[in-house]
Amino acid sequence: MKHFLYFFVTLAVGSLLLSSCLIGEQSSTPRIQVSYLSRSTPAGVRDTIHYGDTVSVGDTLRGNILLNGVYNNLTEFRVSCDTSAMQLELLVDSVYGPFLLTDSDPKNGLLRFTAETYIFPTAIQYVVKKSGTHRISLTLSSTAGQKYSPIEAWFEQPVK
């Protein structure tokens, strides 16, 4: 009976340690968090749309992005798309300018961060130039190591 009790106590402690390691590993993964998209049409209509909603040529879309390195320093954020289909730009509030290196190029979708930058809010804005389905790729690099950096995400925007 004593060995049986020892086995279950060891099993419980081992499970607790393993799960806490996995939780710690998951919570330290850098993240790209994108909020809703707002749309402005050439006719002056403004509304909120959902990802995957069809928009029209000439519409301007804007979404807020939060880059979260969790426990890791952010090093670079890059947004890319087919420039013949969309005009894309990252919008950075001047308050956050000191956290960017001088070789950052928000108008072309590139942010490079100073040391000790763990979290960074920005916005993406793009104007649709032609119809079709267009992919926008987001890539976040950090000091998290090869397993967690870079983090890549993308979304597609249907345009009529």
What structural domains does the chain harbor? Answer: 29-159 (2.60.40.2410)
Cα separation, 112 vs 99, in Å, equals 9
Q: What is the pLDDT of residue 22?
A: 42
* Cα torsion 102, 104, 106, 108: sign: positive
Q: Is the confidence at residue 19, as pLDDT, over 90?
A: no
pLDDT band at 146 (very low <50, low <70, confident <90, very high): confident
| pLDDT tens digits for range 55-89 | 999 999 999 999 999 889 999 999 999 999 999 99
| pLDDT tens digits for range 85-111 | 999 999 999 999 999 999 999 999 999
